[in-house]
Amino acid sequence: MTTVKHFQFGTPIETGAVIRNVPAAGSRIPGWVQDEAQGTLCRDLSEDEIVYGLGESVRGMNKRGWIYESNNSDDPNHTEDKHSLYASQNFFLIFSRQHSYGMFVDTPGKVSFDIGYSKMDQMKISLDDFAANVYTIEGENPTEVIRSFHDLIGKSYIPPKWAFGYGQSRWSYMNEQEVLEVVRSYRDAGIPIDSVYLDIDYMDHYKDFTINNEAFPDFDRFTRQMKEQGIHLVPIIDAGVKIEKGYDVYEEGVEKQYFCQKENGENLVAAVWPGRVHFPDFLDEKTREWFGGKYQWLISQGVDGFWNDMNEPAIFYTEDHLKEVFRKIDLYRDQNLDIRSFFAFKELVDKIDNNPEDYRRFYHHYHGQLVRHDKVHNLYGYYMTMAAGEAFRRYSPDKRILMFSRASYIGMHRYGGVWTGDNKSWWSHLLLSFQQMPGLNMCGFLYSGSDIGGFGADCTEDLMLRWLEMAIMTPLYRNHSAEGTRRQELYRFEHIDWFRNLVNLRYALIPYIYSEFMKAVLSGGMYMMPLSFVYPEDERADRVEDQLIVGESIMLAPVYLQNAVGRSVYLPEDMKLIRFRSCEDYEEEILTAGDHYIPVALNETILFLRKGHVLPMAQPAQDVEQIDYSKLFYLTYEAEPEDYELYNDDGISPVS
Amino acid sequence: MTTVKHFQFGTPIETGAVIRNVPAAGSRIPGWVQDEAQGTLCRDLSEDEIVYGLGESVRGMNKRGWIYESNNSDDPNHTEDKHSLYASQNFFLIFSRQHSYGMFVDTPGKVSFDIGYSKMDQMKISLDDFAANVYTIEGENPTEVIRSFHDLIGKSYIPPKWAFGYGQSRWSYMNEQEVLEVVRSYRDAGIPIDSVYLDIDYMDHYKDFTINNEAFPDFDRFTRQMKEQGIHLVPIIDAGVKIEKGYDVYEEGVEKQYFCQKENGENLVAAVWPGRVHFPDFLDEKTREWFGGKYQWLISQGVDGFWNDMNEPAIFYTEDHLKEVFRKIDLYRDQNLDIRSFFAFKELVDKIDNNPEDYRRFYHHYHGQLVRHDKVHNLYGYYMTMAAGEAFRRYSPDKRILMFSRASYIGMHRYGGVWTGDNKSWWSHLLLSFQQMPGLNMCGFLYSGSDIGGFGADCTEDLMLRWLEMAIMTPLYRNHSAEGTRRQELYRFEHIDWFRNLVNLRYALIPYIYSEFMKAVLSGGMYMMPLSFVYPEDERADRVEDQLIVGESIMLAPVYLQNAVGRSVYLPEDMKLIRFRSCEDYEEEILTAGDHYIPVALNETILFLRKGHVLPMAQPAQDVEQIDYSKLFYLTYEAEPEDYELYNDDGISPVS
């Protein structure tokens, strides 16, 4: 039994995150000290309380000891001292053995969560504008609270089943030949693959809904040719629309006033990849309808998946600001630049891009009002993705389309998944991306994942192996890397057999992954969760930050340190360790509850099977469609295969 | 028994690192494939070989899986993808249970160590100029190899004993009043302290060997007044000398040609804190003698410690380069800056400081030759510190002077210690700084430490507690933080009693710390070492990356993750766990060899006492001088107090 309450203070801006009507029970939230003048909500934290949630954010699963800011930011340096990443997911869960308490602070502007930073035993929420719909959910255990919350915000987006297969991405595969070579190399290496991602260079001069015809002379044919080989091409879509005479998207947008405007009514001139762009006003319904319809042009060419990028929105510069900067630069010319003036000069240039001031330069048409962007900043990526999602339902009612986004806000989870943005080939990011999963799940984002191997910086072979092992059950399973970094397609490394075995294992696990993912979506539950969700009474388990439960049967405990040949694992109950070197070559060992040091070689993936549970597995397949469900086999620990309730469907038809 | 061999190829530039004459045994190094055309040395690595060393560098103790570059760099973002930090310490140790093999690649230019990055099982050393003195040391165990190496390069610098006490630093305490307040606050809180550091603002406009007389109206009196309160003031010295008419250091330097010159014979104009500066040519003996003598002016005012900074050298800009940049900036004005041009523009400004091209703009007088800076780049901080160290021996022959430096090269360890530069308030840096210690020790740098609590970014109370606990035996024990970050003097946090207990514990441990440090220096051994040095036969121990042995008695296993309430520890043998809440409040527990999960509350410090060993402890004291050696007490585990050989001395007189 949970109790859901709704409080409202100020005049909150609607976000569309909540789909159920819960009448407001007033404006004062029991248990919190509200200070309207300061714009804060405060509450003491007892020593045994763990604070989970806040989706995609830095640091561990327990968020205590830092300030997190909801303020969607295009910042590729996800170091511990950052306060914001690409997403704003304002739900957290205070957990103790006695009770679970969830709160969703529903407001589209900036929110700061000081969780024991200023004072170790206090939580302080600060709002830029003191207006919000706040939902609280009290319950006996975290699972119940999350189910209630997911009931409030609606079920997670469901991708096509092929989107659980392995995806290969790069900024960028420049043309048909490069894509063909990637696919051929994977097939030659015998490593399964379902998708190849097209980053910004597939477009004609970075113009949305265009194709570079020199690189892809017949995109329609190529898409279908790839599909015949079991490969889905997944193009990127950017938020900014290039300013270029004769470019239809630009011309239509200007004519129909689909773009964000400045106070003076002119369209904002900002810049991203192509240089100067306008930003579609996704908060305006008519713009969404128009922009969403554009995806159809690619779908008609055989595309059935997209990723929405740069939709915080990322801004290299606005034209107005850039002019100011160049004026100011001249003040530094021919000076003796010392510690103050030199760094002021550098900062002037360094802070041109993603400058918060730019978010005050333009407006949205939202529910009949003109609203300055910064007031609704965190909705932009969400509404861009909604534009696509609504269009998919209109134009493609019988088929799921893959969609995930970089920027997000709760509510967007109904239209697409997320990837955790431009991470790095760091071991610390391997762990971070593992720890981000439960927080994302709590906030409704079940289809999610990180760039495997890391996007920025150079990946090493051991990092790639360990990352693939860590992410073996992560729904989105995509290897992506940036221009200028070491190539990290799996076939480029030395131990191709290890990679083949690993990705084969992923595919063998898809019956379980898909089944548990779908059951979680349909029940409003969690797919990847902290141990405390399953063992709330176990003090030790509640503090574990580097193990997760996935679905009903499996505990993960990946190796995440370079040169480690094993790790310590805590078992809250007796479990069966399964040590895979491949789908065929594995060992099972029953371990008693407690602490264990487990050796794990670089080419091994370890899973822990819970007592009384079953792990269904398939024979390896070269793509998801080829998985043969008639030949499943079952690993069990004091259970029978028939104890497992397998969910399956055609993987394509919409499910609700 | 070890075998030391010397190989020489090309015409290496002398560094002064090695003090013992080992005749060259030729130019081909057995076991390595030398490719002169490529400038490389290659060797296979077997799976069981661990590569230690390379001093101050990123990543773990086992350096396999990355490229490390010796190229002293002022880069405050010590993330995993960096190749160079402030120091170049070209010694590594290949360890396996069968043998230990050390190599010192003695050359002052850029060296790259690819340790299993390009190929997992290969090590490749690349030299910019293929000329070096290479020393190899083969032995049965790592301890022997390190002793041989330290014999080759000479003993570590020994600081005064008070330098093992707690030090408080900040960029910057701006004046006398601020320093007084810090000291008073520590005394009021009952937290021991021995030193306060003066960062750049104590100077008059960042001019070396000047005092800002408004901030410190009578520095001589103030230094002595502080000394009476048991406080040593430790001013910073920067490499660059401000260009200012009438400033004696500048005028003398110009007149006597002490500064680095460009090819055309003009003094290089670079810039750091004060804006335009000249760089003393520390490689020139007469410059060293002159600059070293300047420290005497501060010593005569009661100063007995210094830190040398910005001596990579850090360069904000050179005048010539800055002019170029401003010319180029104009090319970007009024353009449609797109992905290529916008980032090219940003990079133009971003790469003004510490631009490698600047290191080709100036020259040194070195052993009668004119040598371009980049060829001897890694010696600059070393020779600056040598200038001070040689002067201390001349002017202060009866007294040790504290000295540590940011930039370094092997050889400098005879003149000063190092701190690990501008780290950050990151949990990952807490672990990094722990893992850097053994590498530094191997390279001869026994007096070292990191900025406790982290220099950049905002520190949390729990991070500060865990960092102080981790560093409880680190020789340099200094809390330092940057301008603009959260204040992190210990008395500013909530649990002052916890900090008091912790620093008291540090002081209680100083008899052991100092004794073991001095024995390591005098025997040429290690003070902080990986477990493999003590348990070379124990496969598990050899792979442990988050525990260290300190001296003969103690194993450290700190907690280094936020919100962790304990950790897993591996004991290679039975040990006695000592759990300190304070010097008086502690528990002892004997644990058997193997894996243990150890709960460790935030206010607890755990030490592991080896069987048959002794930990001498003192009663707490407010500063090092007040430690009462007549009242030592002893924690023992199957040993008697008299089994411990305590080293002590007056803490001030030079020891050799």
Amino acid at residue number B277? V
pLDDT digits 0-9 by tens, A148-204? 999 999 999 999 999 999 999 999 999 999 999 999 999 999 999 999 999 999 999
Mutation site for B-interface testing, chosen from A273, A460, A499 by largest number of B Cβ within 10 Å: A460
- Contacts of residue B310 in chain A, CB cutoff 8 Å? none
- How many C-beta atoms surround the C-beta of residue A330 within 10 A? 12
With a pLDDT cut of 70, the percent of chain B lying above it is 100
Q: Is A497 on the interface with B (CB under 8 A)?
A: no
pLDDT digits 0-9 by tens, B262-271? 999 999 999 9
pLDDT digits 0-9 by tens, B136-187? 999 999 999 999 999 999 999 999 999 999 999 999 999 999 999 999 999 9
- Contacts of residue B276 in chain A, CB cutoff 8 Å? 336
pLDDT digits 0-9 by tens, A476-531? 999 999 999 999 999 999 999 999 999 999 999 999 999 999 999 999 999 999 99
Q: Which residues contact A225 (CB under 8 A, 6 or more apart)?
A: none
Q: How far is it, in rounded angstroms, from Cα A205 to Cα A217?
A: 15
B526 pLDDT more than 90: yes
Q: Is B80 on the interface with A (CB under 8 A)?
A: yes
Contact criterion met (CB below 8 Å) for B239 and B204: no
pLDDT digits 0-9 by tens, A409-434? 999 999 999 999 999 999 999 999 99
Q: Inter-chain contact A65–B565, Cβ cutoff 8 Å?
A: no
What is the average per-residue pLDDT within B343-360?
97
Q: How far is it, in rounded angstroms, from Cα A130 to Cα A594?
A: 47
Q: Inter-chain contact A338–B275, Cβ cutoff 8 Å?
A: yes
Category of A24 on φ-ψ map: left (φ > 0), alpha (ψ -120 to 50) or beta: beta
Q: Is A353 on the interface with B (CB under 8 A)?
A: yes
Q: Which ranges of B200-338 does DSSP label H, i.e. alpha helix?
A: 219-228, 248-256, 285-299, 319-329
> What's the pLDDT score for residue B359?
98
| Torsion, CA A541, CA A545, CA A551, CA A555, rounded to 10 | -70
Secondary structure of residue B512 in the 3-state scheme:
helix
In terms of Cβ atoms closer than 10 Å to its own Cβ (0-12, 13-18, 19+), residue A557 is buried
Nearest CB to B426 within list A79, A120, A350? A79
A656 pLDDT more than 90: no
Nearest CB to B563 within list A64, A463, A565? A64
Q: Inter-chain contact A563–B60, Cβ cutoff 8 Å?
A: yes
Contact criterion met (CB below 8 Å) for B600 and B625: no
The terminus-to-terminus CA distance of chain A in angstroms comes to 24
What is the average per-residue pLDDT within A116-139?
97
> What's the pLDDT score for residue B202?
98
> What's the pLDDT score for residue A576?
98
What is the average per-residue pLDDT within A603-632?
97
Q: Is B426 on the interface with A (CB under 8 A)?
A: yes
Q: How far is it, in rounded angstroms, from Cα B88 to Cα B17?
A: 12
> What's the pLDDT score for residue B656?
78
- Contacts of residue B595 in chain A, CB cutoff 8 Å? 568, 595-597
Q: Which residues contact B197 (CB under 8 A, 6 or more apart)?
A: B167, B168, B169, B170, B173, B233, B234, B235, B236, B307, B478, B480
Give the residue carrying structure tokens 């192996």: A465
Its pTM stands at 0.98
Nearest CB to B349 within list A349, A458, A562? A349
φ, ψ dihedrals at A266, nearest 5°: -75, 150
Q: Per DSSP, what are the bridge partners of residue B35?
A: B40
In terms of Cβ atoms closer than 10 Å to its own Cβ (0-12, 13-18, 19+), residue A487 is exposed
Distance of CA B457 to the CA centre of its chain: 20
Give the residue carrying structure tokens 């806000």: A409
A631 pLDDT more than 90: yes
Mutation site for B-interface testing, chosen from A200, A562, A591 by largest number of B Cβ within 10 Å: A562
Compute the nearest-CA separation of A276 from chain B (Å): 6
> What's the pLDDT score for residue B122?
98
- Contacts of residue B540 in chain A, CB cutoff 8 Å? 597
Q: Is A294 on the interface with B (CB under 8 A)?
A: no
- Contacts of residue A329 in chain B, CB cutoff 8 Å? 329
Q: Inter-chain contact B428–A206, Cβ cutoff 8 Å?
A: no
Q: Is B653 on the interface with A (CB under 8 A)?
A: no
Give the residue carrying structure tokens 């975290």: A142
The terminus-to-terminus CA distance of chain B in angstroms comes to 24
Nearest CB to A274 within list B338, B595, B597? B338
Q: Is A563 on the interface with B (CB under 8 A)?
A: yes
Give the residue carrying structure tokens 């005098």: B522
Give the residue carrying structure tokens 């500066």: B277
Q: Is B593 on the interface with A (CB under 8 A)?
A: no
Give the residue carrying structure tokens 């480029």: A492
Q: Is A487 on the interface with B (CB under 8 A)?
A: no
- Contacts of residue B427 in chain A, CB cutoff 8 Å? 80
Contact criterion met (CB below 8 Å) for B522 and B655: yes
What is the average per-residue pLDDT within B225-249?
98
φ, ψ dihedrals at B364, nearest 5°: -120, 150
Compute the nearest-CA separation of B222 from chain A (Å): 27
- Angle formed by the axes of helices A319-329 and A339-350, nearest 10°: 160
pLDDT digits 0-9 by tens, B435-492? 999 999 999 999 999 999 999 999 999 999 999 999 999 999 999 999 999 999 999 9
> What's the pLDDT score for residue B557?
98
Q: Is B592 on the interface with A (CB under 8 A)?
A: no
Amino acid at residue number B23? P
Q: How far is it, in rounded angstroms, from Cα B73 to Cα B315?
A: 10
With a pLDDT cut of 70, the percent of chain A lying above it is 100
Give every strand in the sheet of B166-168, ordered side by side: B448-449, B417-419, B402-405, B305-309, B232-238, B195-198, B166-168, B477-479, B451-452
Read off the tokens for B141: 């165990």
Q: Which residue, B556, B531, B540, is CA-closest to B595?
A: B540
Mean pLDDT of chain B: 97
- Contacts of residue A428 in chain B, CB cutoff 8 Å? 80, 428
Q: Is A543 on the interface with B (CB under 8 A)?
A: yes
Q: Which residues contact B94 (CB under 8 A, 6 or more apart)?
A: B45, B49, B50, B51, B52, B100, B101, B102, B103
> What's the pLDDT score for residue B222?
98
pLDDT band of residue A298 (cuts 50, 70, 90) is: very high
Q: Is B563 on the interface with A (CB under 8 A)?
A: yes
What is the average per-residue pLDDT within B371-400?
97
Whether residue A172 is preceded by a cis peptide bond, meaning omega within 30 degrees of 0, is yes
Distance of CA A601 to the CA centre of its chain: 29
Q: How far is it, in rounded angstroms, from Cα A425 to Cα A488?
A: 10
- ipTM comes to 0.97
pLDDT digits 0-9 by tens, A333-383? 999 999 999 999 999 999 999 999 999 999 999 999 999 999 999 999 999
Nearest CB to B81 within list A206, A342, A458? A458
Q: Is B336 on the interface with A (CB under 8 A)?
A: yes
Secondary structure of residue B201 in the 3-state scheme:
helix
